Amino acid sequence: MHLNEKIAKFATRKLLNNHIIMRKNIVAGNWKMNTTKVDGVALAQEVAALSEQTPAEVGLIVAPPFTHLCAVGKALAGSKVELSAQNCADHVKGAYTGEVSVDMLKAVGCQWTILGHSERREYYGETDEKLVEKTRLALEAGLGVILCVGERLEEREAGKHFDVCASQIENVLYKFSAEDMKKVIIAYEPVWAIGTGKTATAEQAEEIHAFIRSRIAAKFGDEVAEDMTILYGGSCKPSNARELFAQKDIDGGLIGGAALKAADFIEIAKSF
């Protein structure tokens, strides 16, 4: 993107009917079930050190497995990198073996939790109803929510991708207030692009990001929609991040595989 185009993009983001747009560019790393505690701390230390090379206005988040949230949080201390969980329980506390509550996440320093990742929807029966509960508990506890939405391959081939994303957003986020949306990020992750090496083209991604923003506007108004950060996820890497992030409605990425290499993750964060 030429400097002039960059300035134009920035300028169009600045004002909407005298409303200063607060939308933030963010790159978040979802480590999924990868790294041991030792590897995770080393990766976090590297990300924290390299994060100084990224533009001040780009936010960075990492989401390690539960077992090393605490240690990774310590490794990130003093850096701009924020800490996220990959999931949380749909109950406050009690007899829910194997679950981790929002208060436990807060207590180890999490600022965010990812919710509704397609792997959780697909393999662990995560429903929109459960996601409403999880989102409610997370927001009440003061955690930000990165809500994942996205269609499967067969749904895209059947031309249902807009409907699928609309219903995932409406079933969950429409239960909350405009004020709550300040603590929510949406991640559009087409299931067919996750871990497959197949990225959505910048045009495909932009089309659905703009649509997602329009669904937020329909419920909460234009200002809330313009302030909403919408990330793209699915085989995002240093070689394609620049083109994706140049799109008007793509505000960063939720990165899987490439987030496991600090240099790649940081390179992606330098792609705006």
- Considering 119, 151, 155, 189, which one is annotated as catalytic? 189
68 is catalytic: no
Shortest distance (Å) from residue 262 CB to ligand 13P: 15
Q: Per-residue contact track with ligand 13P, 189 to 208, x per CB under 6 A? A: x----xx-------------
Site for ligand 13P contains 40 (CB under 6 A): no
Contact 250/228 with Cβ under 8 angstroms?
Answer: no
Residue 73 or 256: which CB sits closer to ligand 13P?
A: 256
Count of alpha carbons within 13 angstroms of residue 92, beta-carbon side:
2
258: tokens are 């490439």
DSSP conformation class of 68: G
Helix (H) or strand (E) holding 240: helix 238-245
Shortest distance (Å) from residue 85 CB to ligand 13P: 13
Site for ligand 13P contains 256 (CB under 6 A): yes
**Beta-strand (E) ranges in the chain?**
15-16, 19-20, 25-30, 58-63, 81-85, 112-115, 144-149, 184-188, 230-232, 252-255
141 to 200, contacts with ligand 13P by CB under 6 A?
189, 194-195
Site for ligand 13P contains 236 (CB under 6 A): yes
Shortest distance (Å) from residue 42 CB to ligand 13P: 20
Cα-based distances in Å from 265 to 26, 63, 72, 109, 190: 12, 13, 16, 22, 20
Out of 27, 234, 245, 269, the only residue in the binding site for ligand 13P (CB under 6 A) is: 234
- Considering 68, 117, 161, 209, which one is annotated as catalytic? 117
Out of 25, 30, 35, 101, the only residue in the binding site for ligand 13P (CB under 6 A) is: 30
Could you tell me which stretch among 10-18, 171-179, 216-224, 230-238 binds ligand 13P (CB under 6 A)?
Answer: 230-238
Residue 165 or 224: which CB sits closer to ligand 13P?
A: 165
CA distance 9 to 188: 21
Q: What is the secondary structure of 173-233 as a DSSP string?
A: HTTS-TTGGGGEEEEE--GGGSSSS-PPPHHHHHHHHHHHHHHHHHHH-HHHHHH--EEE-
Residue 142 or 195: which CB sits closer to ligand 13P?
A: 195
Position with the least CB separation from ligand 13P: 256
Site for ligand 13P contains 271 (CB under 6 A): no
CA distance 38 to 40: 5
Max CA pair span of the chain: 58
Tell me the sheet residues that pair with 111: none
Residue 139 or 254: which CB sits closer to ligand 13P?
A: 254
Site for ligand 13P contains 84 (CB under 6 A): no
189 is catalytic: yes
Out of 257, 266, 267, 272, the only residue in the binding site for ligand 13P (CB under 6 A) is: 257
What are the residue numbers of the active site?
Answer: 117, 189
Residues of the shown chain interacting with ligand 13P in the complex, contacts defined by CB under 6 A: 30, 117, 189, 194-195, 233-236, 254-258
